[in-house]
């Protein structure tokens, strides 16, 4: 089903008046043999989509928590190929869409065509590659499109209106709206201008807009989520998974009633 599975998820949430909660985890942190348990635990906690990080030695968009998780995975010998093989093995047990977050180098080393084929075999719905600009995306997006896998695009706080329009045109899956200037990691809060930024992008976009970077609490997820189609939480999820604290992950995820209350204020 590839991209269709993700589109159906967002449509179902929209029809129910709910927002997406996309949970990031680092594949292979704690060993690749734990991946199935981690994904199913996150799914059971209430996540809408899994964003599965691929460990890389130079993760320029990641903060210290995710960098450390990647180093632990690399120390376990985890590779992009081994992750895709494991995903293909366990795909029948996973109900929610899986999106990969990788960097260009691991994909190029595997081969973009091979990557797309293996991702399709693993039922991957979308791919995020933060170090590939829109102008250079075709090398990756073309083989992915042949398997109906979305290549997720970024919009940042510094993006001009012209750039935002360019990114939105032809976007697939969802737009990843970056909420801070800098790398991933927890933040104390967000400037109020963020919410106007998210709403303006949502009004322009035909695909869902999900906000990520810096969101680490239930209240932040609730407030940010009320201004777009969903939120992405990474560093805090990685920390809690390492502590095996699934109950706290459950408490992170806003429920439909939370969003409705916040929206009415």
- Statement: residue 264 has pLDDT above 70: no
Q: How far apart are CA 179 and CA 147, in angstroms?
A: 30
The per-residue pLDDT for range 151-192, each reduced to its tens digit, is 999 999 889 999 999 999 999 999 999 987 654 544 455 777
- Nearest Cα neighbor of 175 from 204, 146, 149 is 204
- Please report, for the chain, the start and end positions of each structural domain, with discontinuous segments joined by +: 3-152+216-256
- DSSP lists the bridge partners of residue 20 as 230
- Statement: residue 261 has pLDDT above 70: no
Catalytic residue list: 51, 62
Q: How far apart are CA 69 and CA 27, in angstroms?
A: 9
Q: Which CATH architecture has domain 3-152+216-256?
A: Alpha-Beta Barrel (3.20)
Cβ proximity of 55 and 28 under 8 Å: yes
- Strand-pair category, 124-128 with 150-155: parallel
What pLDDT is attached to residue 205? 96
The per-residue pLDDT for range 85-135, each reduced to its tens digit, is 999 999 999 999 999 999 999 999 999 999 999 999 999 999 999 999 999
């Amino acid at each position: 089903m590839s991209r269709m599975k993700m589109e159906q998820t967002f449509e179902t949430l929209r029809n129910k008046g709910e927002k997406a909660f996309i949970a990031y985890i680092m594949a292979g942190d704690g060993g690749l043999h734990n991946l199935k348990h981690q994904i199913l635990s996150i799914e059971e906690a209430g996540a809408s989509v899994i964003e599965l990080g691929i460990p890389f030695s130079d993760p320029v968009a990641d903060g210290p928590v995710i960098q450390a998780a990647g180093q632990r995975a690399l120390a376990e010998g985890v590779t992009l190929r081994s992750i895709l093989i494991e995903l293909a093995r366990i795909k029948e047990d996973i109900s929610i869409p899986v999106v990969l977050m990788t960097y260009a180098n691991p994909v190029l080393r595997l081969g973009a065509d091979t990557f797309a084929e293996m991702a399709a075999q693993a039922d991957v719905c979308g791919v995020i590659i933060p170090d590939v600009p829109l102008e250079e995306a075709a090398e990756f997006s073309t083989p992915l499109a042949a398997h109906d896998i979305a290549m997720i695009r970024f919009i940042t706080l510094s993006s001009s209106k012209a750039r935002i329009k360019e990114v939105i045109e032809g976007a697939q899956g969802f737009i990843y709206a970056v909420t801070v200037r800098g790398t991933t990691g927890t933040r104390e809060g967000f400037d109020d201008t963020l919410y106007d930024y998210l709403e303006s992008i949502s009004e322009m976009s035909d695909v869902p807009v999900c906000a990520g970077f810096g969101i680490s609490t239930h209240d932040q997820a609730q407030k940010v989520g009320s201004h777009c189609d969903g939120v992405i939480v990474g560093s805090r999820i990685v920390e809690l998974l390492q502590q095996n604290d699934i109950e706290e992950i459950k408490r992170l995820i806003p429920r439909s009633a939370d969003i409705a209350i916040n929206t009415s204020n």
